[in-house]
Amino acid sequence: MNKQMLQSLVRHQAWADAEHWKALEANPGALGDASIRKRLNHMVQTCEMLQTLARGEMPDFAAMKDRESAGDLRAAMEKATAGLAAAIDSLDLDKMIQLPRGPKGPFEAPAGTLLLQIVMHGQHHRGQNASRMHELGVKPPLTDFIFWYALGQP
C-alpha cells in the first residue's frame, strides 16, 4: 500500500467533506434532510469502525449512535478523518487484520486496505449526498479528486 497516495486521498477527503459541509450549512433544508443526515452519520461511524479494526481492535458496535447536532456530526467527521491520517502514518499497512464478517463470513485483509476502504466508502456516500442535494435544488460542490489536484491540493 502506497502511504503517500493514501495520504493524498485522505487530504482530498478532508477537503471534499469541508466543501460539502459549506454547501449543506448554506442550505438548512439540505442539512436537515433525513437521508443526507443518515449517510453523514453512517460515514463517520464506518470511518471510526474501520480504523478500530485496522488497529487490530474490536469496535463496540452497541456504542455507535447517530449524532443529532450538525455541529457534533461535523466535528466527529473531522476528527475521524484526522484519525485516519494519523493511522496511515502509525500503522503497519501490510499487517493482516481479522475481520468479523464479510460476504462469505469472517476474513482477513491488510490494515492499509481497510484504510483505503474508508476513503472509497466516503467518496461513494459523498456522491449520493451530492445527488440528493441536486434533488433538493442545491447545487452540490465539485469535489472530484482531479479538481482538488488542479486547485493545488488545498
In the chain, what percentage of residues exceed pLDDT 70? 100
For the stretch 75-121, pLDDT in tens is: 999 999 999 999 999 999 999 999 988 999 999 999 999 999 999 99
If pLDDT is split at 50, 70 and 90, which confidence band does 59 have? very high
Taking the alpha carbons at both ends of the chain, their separation in whole angstroms is 24
Contacts of 36 (CB under 8 A, 6+ apart): 24, 30, 129, 132, 133
Secondary-structure class of domain 3-150 per CATH: mainly alpha
**Residue ranges per domain, the chain?**
3-150
Mean pLDDT of the region 18-45: 97
> Is the pLDDT reported for residue 70 higher than 90?
yes
Mean pLDDT of the region 127-150: 97
Single-letter residue type at 51? Q
Longest Cα separation, the chain? 45
Q: How far apart are CA 94 and CA 38, in angstroms?
A: 32
What pLDDT, on the 0 to 100 scale, is given for residue 100?
Answer: 86
Residue with cell 478523518: 81
